[in-house]
Amino acid sequence: MKHLLSIADLSRDEIGEIMDTAISMHDVQRRQVKKLPTLRGRTIINFFFEDSTRTRSSFEIAGKWMSADTINLTGKGTSVSKGESLRDTVKTVDAMGVDMMIVRHMASGAPAQIAQWTNCSIVNAGDGMHEHPSQALLDAYTLRSKLGDLDGKHIAIVGDLTHSRVLRSNLLCLRALGANVTLVAPPTLMPSGIGSWAATDSFEVSYDLDAVLPHVDAVMMLRVQRERMSGGYFPTAREYAVRYGLTARRLALMPRHAVITHPGPMNRGLEISADAADDAQSLVLDQVSAGVAVRMSILFHLLSGEGSSA
């Protein structure tokens, strides 16, 4: 494994191995000395052309705890703002001899393209509306640690699905692990052509959250992007909250053992109520905590082993 560009490139076993290693890395996180010498002398660039809190900081912490040298670059404050092309920018950085670039970019497919241009390992940290594989792996890890093996578990993914890269990666990951997935969204926020996609990858589609909730083992709430509210995807925030928000009433519809995840940042009162976000079954903070462990595991799997990049 040299790159992590899409969950589709991973086998079920590889996903399992990354999650298993993350268990040990989670232990490191609870130690007093949070430092492993594993990636000493390796250099990792966090290349974020789009804003991020969690992903960037957790990748940076993950790299530092494994003794790699990590450097952050953003679109702003680099030659990108002087008009340098993406290709020239990444080739310049590659020429300095870095081992890995962790890339977030607004254009779908940018990390895959960069992987063609450079010699280093590329991790996709979110590209446009395409994928966000490390998020899917940490979601699966968090769910597995609460629910056990995900094979046969029923998981609903709810929210702004059209624009969500988290959805695409999670769907692939959960299906690879054998979970039954139901997508729930207003028709306007359901990706177009969902019918044929659902048929190929065998998952369910529903527009009625109340009907789905009594049967779930987990519900994954995705962020509604407020910035798109004027785009006519739904009339008002209130209407969305009433029909698709995880309210206190809906919380009561879920089986007692069912858990709630949200990749953050949350819009409290919109897609998720404070009752749900702070419920005992909410794994939101477990997800953040797992984020570092899973990303350490990803770095380990990509940067150790025979033939890992120079």
For residue 261, CA distances in Å to 122, 238, 245, 290 come to 27, 22, 13, 12
Out of 17, 69, 94, 275, point to the residue binding other proteins (CB under 8 A): 17
Alpha helices for 53-208 (secondary structure H): 54-65, 86-95, 110-117, 133-147, 165-176, 194-201
Among 210, 220, 219, 216, CA closest to 264 = 220
Chain positions 184 to 243 lying near other proteins, rule: CB under 8 A, are none
Residue 68 binds other proteins (CB under 8 A): no
- In eight-state DSSP terms, residue 306 is T
Minimum separation from the CB atom of position 306 to other proteins (A): 5
Out of 29, 72, 108, 308, point to the residue binding other proteins (CB under 8 A): 308
Q: Considering beta carbons, is residue 24 or 53 the nearer one to other proteins? A: 24
Residue 305 binds other proteins (CB under 8 A): yes
DSSP, residue by residue, 1-60 = ---B--GGGS-HHHHHHHHHHHHHHHHHHTSSS----TTTT-EEEEEESS--SHHHHHHH
Binding mask 258-277 for other proteins (x = CB under 8 A): --------------------
Q: Tokens for 275?
A: 């009752």
Minimum separation from the CB atom of position 41 to other proteins (A): 10
Contacts of 154 by beta carbon, 8 Å cutoff, 6+ apart: 179, 180, 182, 215, 216, 217, 218
Q: Which stretch binds other proteins (CB under 8 A): 17-25, 43-51, 151-159, 277-285?
A: 17-25
Q: Considering beta carbons, is residue 15 or 189 the nearer one to other proteins? A: 15
Distance in angstroms (rounded) separating the CA atoms of residues 40 and 80? 29
Q: Considering beta carbons, is residue 38 or 52 the nearer one to other proteins? A: 38
Chain positions 18 to 57 lying near other proteins, rule: CB under 8 A, are 20-21, 23-25, 27, 31, 33, 35-38
Distance in angstroms (rounded) separating the CA atoms of residues 180 and 151? 8
Minimum separation from the CB atom of position 290 to other proteins (A): 16
Residue 12 binds other proteins (CB under 8 A): no
Q: Considering beta carbons, is residue 227 or 306 the nearer one to other proteins? A: 306
Residues making contact with other proteins (CB under 8 A): 1, 17, 20-21, 23-25, 27, 31, 33, 35-38, 66, 300-301, 304-306, 308
